[in-house]
Amino acid sequence: SFVHPTHCLMLAILWKDILLELRTKERVSSLLVLAILIVLVFVFALTPEQLKDPALGAALLWIALIFAGMLSIQRAFILEHERNCIDGLLLCPIDSGQFFFAKFLSNVFFLTLVETIVTPLTIALLGIPFSASLLGLPLVFLLGIVGFSALGTLFAAMTVRTRAREILLPLMLLPLLVPLLIAVVQVTGALLAGDVWTGVWLRVLVAFDVIFVVTSWLTFGFVLQE
């Protein structure tokens, strides 16, 4: 079987990001440290009774992921911008959508890697007992990370060439993430409480992912050219 050349270039960009992280370990380590610190601050600040609230535990998990994730997503484009790699890639015969998916999949990979470490640690610190419903957490976190990475990749590319990118990215990204955050906190809270029924919020989460992955993919080329 043959792989399309543009797909090869997309995979090459994705592998480059992973290989760079394997060599430096800067992205995952900073992500992991920040996420764990956020969790520890809340754990020590809240009372034992508050920590037993599944809704609060769900909110804590996603606060740590979102704030650490914004640092990770922005860093991926800062490295490309500082080395003028974005301009070079625009000169290549590659569809901008392939470049989007390379960065998007890279962000999904690193955020998922960090979340697989932070989630068990947080559950242990909160003292949440094991139940069969917790087996649904990987799927929920993957859906949340996909939606967050799609929007984050688009807005990180949009703000990377601005001077105030560290301020602009959260200001532009967080308001649009509100539906996603509400949905994932509701579904995660239900699973932490032992309730396998997640109702309408799971459908909201899936719809958010589909809409913004497609929208980000279609508009990414215009963002890069500006």
**pLDDT 10s digits, 27-57:** 888 888 999 999 999 888 888 888 888 888 8
Mean pLDDT across the stretch 11-34? 83
pLDDT in tens, 58-78: 999 999 999 888 888 887 777
51 vs 43, 130, 183, CA distance in Å? 7, 15, 21
Confidence check: pLDDT of 3 > 50: no
Residue 87 CB burial class (10 angstroms; 0-12, 13-18, ≥19): exposed
pLDDT tens digits, 164-197: 777 888 888 999 999 999 999 999 998 888 876 6
- What is the structure's pLDDT at 94? 66
pLDDT at site 109: 92
Examine the pLDDT at 131 and tell me if it is beyond 50: yes
214 closest CA partner among 126, 100, 119:
100
CA angle 183, 32, 153 (to 5 degrees): 55
Binning pLDDT at 50, 70 and 90, where does residue 91 land? low
Of 25-29, 106-110, 204-208, the least confident: 25-29
Which residues have a Cβ under 8 Å from the Cβ of 111 and sit 6 or more positions away?
A: 31, 65, 69, 72, 145, 148, 149
Dihedral class, residue 40 (left if φ above 0, else alpha if ψ from -120 to 50, else beta): alpha
pTM: 0.89
Average pLDDT over residues 9-29: 81
More confident residue, 7 or 212: 212
Q: Residue 181 has what DSSP assignment?
A: H
Residues 6+ apart with CB under 8 A from 72: 27, 30, 31, 107, 110, 111, 114
State percent of the chain over pLDDT 70.
Answer: 89
CA distances (Å), origin 9, targets 5, 16, 70, 123, 126: 6, 10, 25, 39, 44
Q: What average pLDDT score do residues 154-172 get?
A: 83
